[in-house]
Amino acid sequence: MYWNKEAETMPREKLESVQLLRLQETVKRAYQNVAFYRDALDRRGIKPDDIRSLSDVSQLPFTTKQDFRDTYPFGLVAVPMNRVVRIHASSGTTGKPVTAYYTQKDLDVWAELMARVMTAGELRKGDIIQNAYGYGLFTGGLGAHDGAQLVGAAVVPSSVGNSRRQILLIQDLGVTALACTPSYALIIGETGRELGTDLAKTSKLRVGFFGAEPCSEPMRKEIEDCLGLKALDIYGLTEILGPGVAHECMNQRGLHLAEDNFLVEVIDPETGRSLPPGQKGELVLTTLNKEAMPVLRYRTRDIVSLYPDTCPCGRTFVRMTKITGRTDDMLIVRGVNVFPSQIEDALLRVDGLEPHYQIVVDRDSHLDELEVWVEVSEDIFTDEIAPLETLELKVRKELESVLGIWTRVRLVEPGTLERSEGKAKRVIDRRDLGKR
């Protein structure tokens, strides 16, 4: 099922000509209206007319999160402020937030992109979707809201939090679809279990749209099992748009990037050089259809790779893997690159654990120590030490085989690790505490 069949199944050749026209137009407008881009292009001796093919994008400078901060609040806006009808901001824990600006046309495009996402999950008029993304400055809440409303579904704007009430509404209203972060989906499922309610059996939930955080394959399975729905991964970021940049179809094999709206590159985060399909690197996005805040070559810091083959669903847009890490989440432990997502994958392969964990990196007399705290599931606990020690050993072996380094495993009581209702904070790095 498509929302916009013509766009979503456009032949590659036609798609690329649309992309080139839109790229040229975007660069031109950015150059004319945004001093930041004009200066950046001038410094490299590039004029908008130099963009003659899609591969010329590599001549353009990158834009980073720091650039958003440095130009805060209005430095990247390309239209007169009286044309802006909405402003979102990132949750930025430190320093200045990242602000995003939208004209009415931008909001319309955004709603369409989210309508495509939800139609790919077979959401339609007659469905009831509970939107448990946080409403407010965060793009998740209103982004999902507008898309679902455009599709014609009934939206329950429950926002995040108060899991018991979420469950009550899901059951009493006969909610068929859920939108929230994957970690919050797990919290809802877990709360249901605590209340003695198996949502997989007692609810009408059929599909879920989960984003704003990485969601590994085993985590997806966990969500699907406890909620009894098909969990689709969606992707987006405030700097570029919000949710709707990429999404899975019912095949659940990679996320289709909305290429008519974004130009996609995968680069080597060290050298900045473009990588061929199939290779893991940093996702770089250029907006092709945004008025208020066009963005050139934004370095997302998300690690992905692109699928070289086409998808049986008929969409011609390229697919990327789930986010397998963040360039800035990457921990270097004893010289080895470690992504928290790898740890999560390893943990979820072991039976007898809860899907909550904490990574602690410390330095013990010049040597980095990686310690993983993980909750023991109540089911495997008995009166004996041996099964727990076996479990601990199994976890350590899984981690070692994935990471290639020795790790310490600590079993903790279920329910004791911090549950996050937004972006999960999984890593505590104690190594530089001493230096500060």
Partner 1 sequence: MAAPVSRIEQVSVFLENRPGRLVEMLKVLEDRGINILAMSLADAPDFGIVRMVLPDSRQGVEVLHEAGFTARSTEVLKVEVPHRPGGLVDTVALPLSRAGLNIEYIYASVDPAPGQAVVVVKVRDLDAAEKALAVG
CA distance 305 to 242: 21
Tell me: does residue 39 bind partner 1 (CB under 8 A): no
Q: Work out which of 393, 404, 413, 425 binds partner 1, going by CB under 8 A.
A: 413
Q: Is residue 246 at the binding interface for Zn ion, with CB under 5 A as the rule? A: no
From Zn ion, partner 1, none, interface partner of 311 (C-beta below 5 to 8 A by class)? Zn ion
3-class DSSP assignment, residue 203: coil
CA angle 284, 288, 294 (to 5 degrees): 80
With CB cut-offs between 5 and 8 Å by kind, which of partner 1, Zn ion, none does residue 198 bind? none
Contact call for residues 297 and 304 (beta carbons, < 8 A): no
Q: Is residue 187 close enough to count as binding partner 1 by CB under 8 A?
A: no
C-beta neighbour count of 416 within 10 angstroms: 11
Q: Could you say whether residue 193 binds partner 1 (CB under 8 A)?
A: no
313 belongs to the binding site for Zn ion (CB under 5 A): yes
Q: Which does 313 bind (CB under 5 to 8 A by kind): Zn ion, partner 1, none?
A: Zn ion
CB of 390 to partner 1, least distance (A): 11
Using rule CB under 8 A, residue 2 touches partner 1: no
378 binds, among partner 1, Zn ion, none (CB under 5 to 8 A by kind): partner 1
User: What does the longest C-alpha to C-alpha distance in the chain come to?
Assistant: 74
Residue listed under structure tokens 């310690």: 371
Q: 3-state class of 261 per DSSP?
A: coil
Which of 13, 384, 418, 432 is in the footprint of partner 1 by CB under 8 A? 384
Residue from 311, 360, 411, 412 touching Zn ion (CB under 5 A): that is 311
Nearer to partner 1, 165 or 410 (CB): 410
Minimum Å gap between C-beta 383 and partner 1 is 4
Residue 285: beta bridge partners? 264, 298
Looking at 211-339, which runs of residues are DSSP E strands? 230-237, 242-248, 255-257, 262-267, 281-287, 298-304, 319-320, 325-326, 331-333, 336-338
Q: Which residues bind Zn ion (CB under 5 A)?
A: 249, 251, 311, 313, 315
